Structure 1
Amino acid sequence: MSVASGARAGLKAHQDSVRLPEAELVRGLTDILGLRLVAYIGSVKETRAVRQWADGERKPSVEVMTRLRHSYHVAALLAEHDPASVVQAWFQGLNPELGDIPPATLLREGSTDETVRQVLAAARAFAADGGV
């Protein structure tokens, strides 16, 4: 994976999070985070709903789709630097830059603009500190 630098870092992740059709975005997010984590962020109990979103058989609510778009932006930004297993661990782990709250929890429960900015800032800092 190529690594962008400076202000361009994560630009493709942002553009894709805005431009991708819903089903394609859910498939991409699932490729990075896995069905269970996407279901958690999407506030559904069964991964079947995520599969249906990814297949275009069903649409998530506007609120859930907004959370998934934000989550895709963060996940794709991290995936530019690290493998999916690291991105998954980052989403689920206690994050000192976020008050020791897992990013997935913040994106699921507090998807305000400020929360999303905080999660993105934490992701950018993590990506800048290393990666493969």
Structure 2
Amino acid sequence: MVVAVSDGAIHSHTAAVRLTPAELARELLDHLGPTVVAALSQVRNRKQPYKWAIDDGPRPRIESLQRLQVAHRAWWTIAESEGDEVARAWFIGANPRLDEVPPYMAIREGRFSEVLAAADEFVVAG
């Protein structure tokens, strides 16, 4: 089955997959901060994302890596059209499209397709 997706979704997916785990962690740390990155990755230690950001450092578990990739895709979707500050505010604020749950918490809960759809809808609604 082939699913129709937007060009932006394809581009954000390609960009996230091409980043090494260390690059992915560094970008998210730069834009969202360690508390949000640790929370969405399901790790308790907010220093853990800094360890992932080291080129030869430890790598995130598969589940955490998936969450980092989804977070990067959602962040990229919004930042590309609205800027970094709006993207960060979107990530940490209650979101009506996610039952008033902040997107970073929805990613933590594994609601990937809902978060990505909410990011797309935010950009389209302008």
Question: TM-score, normalising length from structure 1?
Answer: 0.82
Does 1:51 pair with 2:47?
A: no
Match of 1:16 in 2: 15
Tell me if structure 2 keeps the 8 A contact 1:94–1:100: yes
Q: Secondary structure at the match of 1:80?
A: helix
2:123 to 112, 124, 127: 127
Match of 2:60 in 1: 60
CA separation of 1:82 and 1:25: change in aligned 2, threshold 3 A: same
Give structure 2 stretches of 5+ with no counterpart.
Answer: none
Residue by residue, what CA displacement relative to the aligned partner does 1:76-131 show, whole Å, maximum 9, x if unpaired?
1111012222212111111111111111111002x1xxx2111111101111222x
CA separation of 1:69 and 1:102: change in aligned 2, threshold 3 A: same
Residue by residue, what CA displacement relative to the aligned partner does 1:10-61 show, whole Å, maximum 9, x if unpaired?
4321101122111111112222212221111122233321111011311111
Alpha-carbon distance in structure 2 between the residues aligned to 1:11 and 1:66: 16
Alpha-carbon distance in structure 2 between the residues aligned to 1:32 and 1:11: 21
Q: Secondary structure at the match of 1:47?
A: coil
Alpha-carbon distance in structure 2 between the residues aligned to 1:105 and 1:69: 15
Match of 1:78 in 2: 78
Q: Secondary structure at the match of 2:42?
A: coil
Tell me if structure 2 keeps the 8 A contact 1:23–1:54: yes
Give structure 1 stretches of 5+ with no counterpart.
Answer: 1-5
Alpha-carbon distance in structure 1 between the residues aligned to 2:123 and 2:30: 19
Match of 2:114 in 1: 118
Once the two structures are TM-superposed, the CA of residue 68 in structure 1 deviates from its matched residue by 0.8
The number of aligned residues is: 121
Tell me if structure 2 keeps the 8 A contact 1:36–1:47: yes
Tell me if structure 2 keeps the 8 A contact 1:32–1:79: no
Structure 1 vs Structure 2 CA RMSD = 1.7
